[in-house]
Amino acid sequence: MLGKPVDQTNVITCHLGNGSSVAAVRNGKCVDTSMGMTPLEGLLMGTRCGDIDPAAVLYLQTALGLSAKETDTLLNKKSGLLGLTGSNDLRAVIEGAGEGDARCQLGLDMFVRRVRKYIGSYMAVLDGEVDAVVFSAGIGENSALIRGLIVERLQGLGLSADAARNAAAVGGKQLDISAPGSRVRLLVIPTDEELSIAQQTLQVVSKAAPVAA
């Protein structure tokens, strides 16, 4: 879509779904990702809290008398949008915010802000040389509203979306939603996690030593 060789391409990928992450890709290779040892680090997600002060975890354990397992359950399965709004479905959160639900509005604002924050930080990681920001996965592919909210306050960093193109990019379509003059291209590209898993599994298996009889 960019007309450049992969090894000369810098992109920021935003995989936005019930589980979400952002990655910085320099010359075709990932150099940073919002996820850490586990998927818990990084963005606010459907049920995961994302980035949090470690001291807050210790405080919760002490104040509530939680075990390590209970704390893990709280952070991974009862936090994020679910903890903030009562629903882990962003569509329900958007609907609630539209109806004036303050908790849903807070959850929506926090979700968008976290993505913006990572895009900005990864532009710094890539020394400001970014060819494109890519939106993918369930939310990234299908929510023109979320894409628009994320981009609307990043024009100072060279990101500008075309409203009509953005609105048309739903239902698994692969489209360039950049506005004319946008310094950084904005792309919507459907993800295929199953294919990626299969390809990586084949790669690992093909390199494995044959089992002795």
- pLDDT tens digits in sequence order for the chain, 213 residues long: 999 999 999 999 999 988 899 999 999 999 999 999 999 999 999 999 999 999 999 999 999 999 999 999 999 999 999 999 999 999 999 999 999 999 999 999 999 999 999 999 999 999 999 999 999 998 898 999 999 999 999 988 999 998 999 988 888 788 999 999 899 999 999 988 888 899 999 989 988 666 555
Question: Does the annotation flag 15 for ligand binding?
Answer: yes
DSSP conformational letter for 129? -
Question: Does the annotation flag 19 for ligand binding?
Answer: yes
Question: Does the annotation flag 131 for ligand binding?
Answer: no
Question: Does the annotation flag 181 for ligand binding?
Answer: no
State the fold for domain 6-51+81-207. Answer: Nucleotidyltransferase; domain 5 (3.30.420)
Tokens for 185, please give them. Answer: 């291209």
Question: Does the annotation flag 76 for ligand binding?
Answer: no
Using a cut of 0.85, tell me whether the model's pTM lies above it: yes
3-state secondary structure of 94: helix
Give the whole-angstrom CA distance, residue 66 versus residue 58.
10
Place of tokens 């008398």: 65
Terminal-residue alpha carbon distance, the chain: 48
Give the whole-angstrom CA distance, residue 15 versus residue 13.
6
Question: Does the annotation flag 141 for ligand binding?
Answer: yes
Could you state, in order of their start, the residue ranges of all structural domains in the chain? 6-51+81-207
Question: Does the annotation flag 65 for ligand binding?
Answer: no
Q: Which amino acid is at 58?
A: L
Question: Does the annotation flag 86 for ligand binding?
Answer: no
